[in-house]
A and B are shown apart, each in its own frame.
Chain A
Amino acid sequence: MNQMGGWMGKILDVNLTTGETSERPLDMDMARQFLGGRGLGARMLWDEVGPEVDPLSPENVLIFACGPLTGTGYQTSNRFSVSTKSPLTGTVLDANSGGFWGMQFKKTGHDVLIVRGKAEQPVYLEIKPEGVTINDAVPLWGKVVSETTRTLGQNNNKRNVLCVGPAGERLSHMAAIMNDGERSLARGGPGAVMGSKNLKAIVVEGKERPGIVDQDKFKFMLYETRKLLRASPLTSQALPEFGTIVMMNVVNNVGALPTRNHRQAQFEGAEAISGEALTEKYLVKNSACWACPIGCTRVSKTDKVEGEGPEFETAWAFGAQCGVDDLAAIIEANHMCNEMGLDTISTGSTIACAMELAEMGLLDSELRFGRADLLVKMVEDIGYRRDIGAELADGSLRLAKRYGRPDLSMSSKGMELPAYDPRGMQGQGLLYATSNRGGCHMRGNMLGLEVLGLPKLIDRFQVQGKSSYVILHQNIAAVIDSLVICKFTNMGVAEEYFARALSAVTGIHYPTGEMIRVGERVYNLERLYNLREGFAKADDTLPPRLLNEPVPDGPSKGWVSKLEPMLKEYYRARGWDENGVPTPHKLAELGLDKWVEAAQ
């Protein structure tokens, strides 16, 4: 058992070029300031990867990071993240996943694994109590995710496999890193970075346990959190019964469900691809990650496949966004994404972009909106970079640019936007435009405030004052991503509980506000990273369609995204100048004084 609370205090460093592996102590000041996961990853990435580094070159790194809560047994303390420079966007990237791998990696006695360089031949890492080995992965190269996972001996509680599939091997910019079979570190293409290093998989087996400084307080926090999660109908009924895909009907009902590459904001086929439909026709059971009492994962089955998913975003991306109302086809496309190791949001939305280009006669393909029958093959072709799949494999922006229509890529900073139409949810648009990893809903989500009334309904068409909500949610998401726990816990449990759990585990007093300030710190550092990469105010934007083309019908009819006034207010509210650059005053407040020069 560890004397320290929460952190294991060690970084494992693997150099694939030289074959060297080494350990070094975790800088505890850095850990206190950035916690772990996304925060620590961003901080370390700042030092490791500068603007001169190409994301798919050996000089890029992969930083797998747990947080002080990972593996403690606190509810949902299974999550971990990977930080790198994104091949899809060129921004700082962290991708976050659940399952069991993170818990097991922590048990190896480390907080962070940093992988650098490039192996000459495909290899896989094995991290066990006896030591770290780099092993030949040539026989595994080319294998799909499930086969790789099985061959390497996946056992949820004892031996966990993290790997890439054909998509990562072939450097698709939408490639995901998969863990425990069907969980994913998906957005932004971290799978391509891993593939570019000739790294097929990382297998972990561990024995150690993180320390807990105040055992009594921790027990109390476990009890209170359990009570709250059970008491909230969101975490005790809605998520386990219907999964995230239950969002389909409600988002469609308010007219904020992007349809056919965002040409519309309401889909006539939403019911057919809804959570209710899934539960009725294809659901086998629900499932949970380690230490999670919620159990939002779906296990679904068609006559061709059985596996985890689909999540709401997946069902949307291959569904409404592609004009497809065939849920079985969507389930099968999701399954293929998992096998190839691909991000479902980017893949679905890129296919939708291709559908629009094809309908306009620009792209030579039989792809059309509604062609459910072509989805699975298209995903496979993307994974293997075959035929037209090769053109889609690097995301919708590169695809659309190639055909002279970058405006038809529904992306921000190159990352495909998720399932909420900014024209129908004004705050969400601001969120996407200012997300540090590109158009993303997991860096804060205005769904609660603007649609579900959590904690209270704020008019989704209101523009004044929206920025403060967006900022608060971005900060909270950043710290949850650094602890690392699951955001669904936050649906039943307030941040003050996380702060007290963190304090109990680490023995360091984190008032709630201070903990959220970690999130603000992380957010600002990520911003600085992107500024260093050359991103500027002009990149905090949305596709022209959302700024200029009013929604044609439905409850959001006539609306466009009123980004500009919200963005102005946002910069001021964040304490940034009118170009979106953090001011010295703000940086000093966050303890980021050393970065003041970098911000100029």
Chain B
Amino acid sequence: MPQVKLFGILRRYAGASQIEANGATVRAALEFLCTGNPALRAAIWEGNALRRYVRVMVNGRDIELVQGLDTPIAPDDEIAVFPPIAGG
């Protein structure tokens, strides 16, 4: 099953830093992840799109450069979800 790694404040909402998620696309996996967790859902989603500044990567590649939320995922893929963060 694909692993979803969560970072920053998302860990607090999810209660974990890594969760197994079901789905053939990023969208499906993230939907699965947020099931029953309104706080996490609010932090990641804005309607049907990703919240502004939230970044999702599959094996280190930002989904925006692949197929966005429709990016397909394989069973041994690693998805990383970052809340809005900044630094220098």
Residues of A within 8 A of B (CB): 233-235, 237-239, 241-247, 249-250, 253-255, 275-276, 311-313, 441-442, 445, 447, 451-454, 457, 459, 487-488, 491, 554-556
Determine which of B5, B62, B64, B85 lies in contact with A242 in the assembled complex, contact meaning CB atoms within 8 Å.
Answer: B85
**Given A241-B9, A275-B8: A250 in contact with B84 (beta carbons within 8 A):** no
A-B residue pairs, 4 tightest by C-beta: A555-B60, A247-B87, A244-B87, A233-B84
Closest to A246 in B: B85
- The answer to whether B27 has its CB under 8 Å from any CB of chain A is no
**Residues of B with C-beta under 8 A to A239:** 86-87
Residue in A245, A249, A311, A442 whose Cβ sees the most chain B Cβ within 10 Å:
A249
Cβ-neighbour of B86 out of A442, A454, A554 (below 8 A): A454
Is the interface on chain B under 10, 10 to 19, 20 to 34, or 35 or more residues? 20 to 34
Contacting A253 at CB < 8 Å: which of B11, B57, B86? B57
| Besides A241-B9, A250-B80, 19 other A-B contacts (C-beta < 8 A) | A233-B53, A244-B86, A244-B87, A245-B87, A246-B7, A246-B86, A246-B87, A247-B85, A249-B80, A250-B7, A275-B8, A312-B87, A441-B88, A447-B87, A453-B53, A488-B86, A488-B88, A554-B60, A555-B59
Q: Is the interface of A mostly helix, strand, loop or mixed?
A: helix
B61, B64, B88 — most chain A CB neighbours (10 Å) = B88
Residues of A within 8 A of B13 (CB): none
Q: Is the CB of B11 within 8 A of A276?
A: yes
Instruction: Report the tally of A-B residue pairs with Cβ distances under 8 A.
Output: 93
Docked Cα-Cα span, A243 to B87, in Å, equals 7
In the bound complex, how far is the Cα of B83 from the Cα of A572, in angstroms?
38
Q: How far is the CA of A233 from the CA of B53 in the complex (A)?
A: 9
> 1/0 contact trace for B69-84 toward A, CB 8 Å?
0000000000010111
B interface residues, Cβ below 8 angstroms from A: 5, 7-9, 11, 17, 53, 55, 57, 59-62, 64-65, 80, 82-88
The answer to whether A453 and B87 touch (CB under 8 A), given A246-B8, A275-B8, is no
Contacts of A312 in B (CB 8 A): 87-88
**Neighbouring B residues of A313 by C-beta, 8 Å:** 88
Pick the residue among A238, A276, A459, A555 that contacts B17 (CB under 8 A): A276
B contacts with A: majority SS? loop
Shortest Cβ distance from B53 into chain A, in angstroms? 6
Closest to A254 in B: B60
A247 vs B85: C-alpha distance in the bound complex, in angstroms?
A: 8
B residues in contact with A235, CB < 8 Å = 86
Interchain CB contact (< 8 A) of B85 among A250, A255, A487, A555 = A250
**Inter-chain contacts of A233 with B (CB < 8 A):** 53, 83-84
Contact with B84, one of A238, A243, A275, A445 (Cβ below 8 angstroms): A238
Q: Are A234 and B17 in contact (CB under 8 A)?
A: no
Complex-state Cα separation, A453 to B52, whole angstroms? 10
For B83, list chain A residues within 8 Å (CB): 233, 237-238
Q: Residue on A with the closest CB to B58?
A: A555
The distance in angstroms between the C-alpha atoms of A275 and B62, with both chains bound, is 21
The CA-CA distance from A269 to B57 in the complex, in Å, is 19
When C-beta atoms are compared, the residue in chain A nearest to B43 turns out to be A233
Contacts of B9 in A (CB 8 A): 237, 241-242
Q: Given A276-B7, A276-B8, do A491 and B59 touch, yes or no (CB 8 Å)?
A: no
Known: A237-B9, A276-B7. A457 touches B64 (CB 8 A): yes
CB contacts (< 8 Å) of B85 on chain A: these are 234, 238, 242, 246-247, 250, 452
Q: Which of B9, B53, B64, B86 has the most CB of A within 10 A?
A: B86
CA distance A447 to B85 in the complex (A): 11
Which residue among A239, A276, A311, A454 has the maximum number of chain B CB atoms within 10 Å of its CB?
Answer: A276
List the A side residues contacting B17 at CB < 8 Å: 276
Nearest CB to that of A274 among chain B residues?
Answer: B7
Q: Which residue of A lies closest to B62 (CB)?
A: A457
B55 close to A452 (CB less than 8 A): yes
Q: A246-B8, A275-B8 are in contact. Are A459 and B65 (CB under 8 A)?
A: yes
Q: Assess the B64–A234 pair: CB atoms within 8 A.
A: no
Q: Could you tell me the distance between the alpha carbons of A441 and B87 in the complex, rounded to whole angstroms?
A: 11
The one of B60, B62, B64, B88 in contact with A447, judged by C-beta atoms closer than 8 angstroms, is B88
CA distance A390 to B11 in the complex (A): 44
In the bound assembly, the distance between CA atoms of A239 and B88 in angstroms comes to 10
A243 to B17, CA, bound (A): 19
- Give the chain A neighbours of B64 by CB distance below 8 A: 453, 457
Expressed in whole angstroms, the minimum distance between the Cβ of A419 and any Cβ of chain B is: 9
A144 to B72, CA, bound (A): 56
Q: In the bound complex, what is the Cα–Cα distance between A250 and B62 (angstroms)?
A: 11
Residue in B60, B65, B88 whose CB lies within 8 Å of A457 = B65
Q: Which residue of B lies closest to A557 (CB)?
A: B60
Measured between C-beta atoms, what is the minimum distance from A71 to chain B in Å? 23
Residues of A within 8 A of B8 (CB): 238, 241-242, 246, 275-276
| A/B interface sample: 28 pairs, CB < 8 A | A234-B53, A234-B86, A237-B84, A238-B84, A238-B85, A241-B9, A242-B85, A246-B87, A249-B82, A250-B7, A250-B80, A250-B85, A253-B60, A253-B80, A254-B57, A254-B60, A255-B60, A276-B8, A311-B88, A312-B87, A442-B88, A452-B53, A452-B86, A453-B53, A453-B62, A454-B53, A457-B64, A487-B88
Find chain B residues with CB under 8 A from A247 CB. 85, 87-88
* Residues of chain A within 8 A of B61, CB atoms compared: 254, 555
Complex: A311 Cα to B87 Cα, angstroms: 9
Which residue of A has the minimal Cβ distance to B57? A253
B84 contact set on A, CB distance < 8 A: 233-234, 237-238
Q: Are A453 and B88 in contact (CB under 8 A)?
A: no
